Amino acid sequence: MPRTTGRHFLQIPGPTNVPDEVLAAMSAPTIDHRGPDFAVLGREVLDGLGPVFGTTGPVVVYPSSGTGAWEAALANTLSPGDTVLAFETGHFALLWQSMATALGLQVDLVPGDWRHGVDPEVVEERLRADTGHEVKAVCVVHNETSTGVTSRVAEVRQAIDRAGHPALLLVDTISSLGSIDYRHDEWGVDVTVSGSQKGLMLPPGLGFNAVSEKALAASRTATLPRSYWDWEPIIAANQRGYWPYTPATNLLYGLRTALRMLDEEGLPEVFARHQRHAEATRAAVRAWGLEILCADEREHSPVLTAILLPEEHDADEVRRVILERFDMSLGAGLGRVAGKVFRIGHLGHFNDLTLAGTLSGVQMGLHLAGVPVKEDGVSVALARLEQP
């Protein structure tokens, strides 16, 4: 490989670009995780997480990837043989349901076409039909990172309430938290699962569970085996700013800085920024004459756009050309859309000119890979970016 110059464009939908401020914060010396200075850091990050999740309840932080936080959500609230209702919105929803099966849960999977989010009407229908209340939890991936489709969690909550069903609501926000409007308390979510390396602008390595009163109560009787993931000792130690085991100290330094950055920008402004960049991206894709995978206007993801290529073209070849020529990484198609789509991440530490550069690289790559494009999508996107 020839030596590259300038910054690599990491435009996959996670891990995302880590701001220099966060990297600098993480380079501070590691401290005693049982000492007095640590408790100040611990409480500051735990308090700072609440507003991002939209909760006044506990947020459990694990030294783990998002997958670990998935397991924690299931293991703390459910018992062997319990039924969970899941939806095939895409690759990540399927991975979560396989994990549930592996842990000894029964999964009632609603099939999907990977172009739509969770249908609140189907949620209501399924739960109304479950008169014996066999379903103990409804699992929803808020932003399906494999497809660029964002499910309407508030409407899913209303559907559960209309059905009068007591199931817990477990939501994966690994690629939405800190980028897309989200309200754990207001939407009545019981466990919100998240991770550090997407909207929170950190390197991979932290997993999160925001936990409702109802989920805490369920954890007292749930019998799936758990030890490392057990909320109780963590929440107890967190009261004073500590963890029952060695936490990821330097990632917590980074988290403290990232939370300050989100707070300084203002969460409503952060959400609006992501919406605006997503709109400009879609404008470019439409001008190119290519198809967006998400098929419902209400469900377009603010954090990534998955682009479907005409059948005779290989999306991985387009990504390969773009990486080789322009040093930019784009997201691969996963699972059943492998080779058919590529994904542009426009989340986290990102601005107008990052988007302009990203779309320029994509447009040149499409030309070089011989994918026919109709119009100059970059100019269309730039015209959108000239507007507030």
Contact set with ligand PLP (CB under 6 A): 14, 65-67, 92, 141, 145, 172, 174-175, 195, 204
The closest alpha carbon to 87, from 307, 292, 299, belongs to 299
User: 28 phi and psi, to 5 degrees?
Assistant: -70, 155
Q: At CB < 8 A and 24+ separation, what contacts does 18-22 make?
A: 18/201, 18/202, 18/203, 18/254, 18/349, 19/201, 19/257, 19/258, 19/261, 19/349, 21/257, 21/261, 22/201, 22/202, 22/254, 22/257, 22/258, 22/261
**Based on CB atoms, which residue is closest to ligand PLP, 94 or 366?**
94
Instruction: Kindly tell me which of 195 and 365 has the beta carbon lying closer to ligand PLP.
Output: 195
268 CB neighbour count, 10 Å cutoff: 9
Q: Could you give the CA distance from residue 382 to residue 163 in angstroms, rounded to a whole number?
A: 46
Minimum distance between the CB of residue 236 and ligand PLP, rounded to whole angstroms? 26
β-pair partners for 168: 137
The two structure tokens encoding residue 283: 């404008």
For ligand PLP, the closer of residues 17 and 363 by Cβ is 17
* Tokens at 117, concatenated: 């989010």
CB of 95 to ligand PLP, least distance (A): 7
Phi-psi region of 209 (alpha: psi -120 to 50; beta: other; left: phi over 0): beta
Distance in Å, CB of 190 to ligand PLP, minimum: 17
Residue that has been written with the tokens 């300084």 in this structure: 264
**Choice between 99 and 272, CB closer to ligand PLP:** 99
Taking CA atoms, 113 is separated from 90, 294, 336, in Å, by 8, 10, 10
3-state secondary structure of 28: coil
DSSP string, 287-314: HHTPEES---GGGB-SSEEEEEPPTTS-
**In the bound complex, what is the minimum distance in angstroms from residue 124's beta carbon to ligand PLP?**
24
Axis crossing angle, helix 66-77 with helix 91-102, rounded to the nearest 10:
50
Residues facing residue 227 across a β-bridge: none
Judged by beta carbon, residue 48 or residue 204, the one nearer ligand PLP is 204
Pick 193 or 315: Cβ nearer ligand PLP: 193
- Residue (57 or 204) nearer to ligand PLP, CB: 204
Residues pairing with 150 in the sheet: 143
- Please identify the residue of the shown chain whose CB is closest to the bound ligand PLP: 66
Q: Is 43 annotated as a binding residue?
A: no
The CB-of-180 to ligand PLP minimum distance in angstroms stands at: 11
* Cβ proximity to ligand PLP, 67 vs 250, nearer residue: 67
d(CA 75, CA 224): 5
**Shortest Å distance, C-beta 263 to ligand PLP:** 23
Min dist. Cβ of residue 319 to ligand PLP (A)? 18
**Minimum distance between the CB of residue 40 and ligand PLP, rounded to whole angstroms?**
28
**Residue positions forming the annotated binding site:** 343
**Residue positions forming the annotated binding site for substrate:** 343
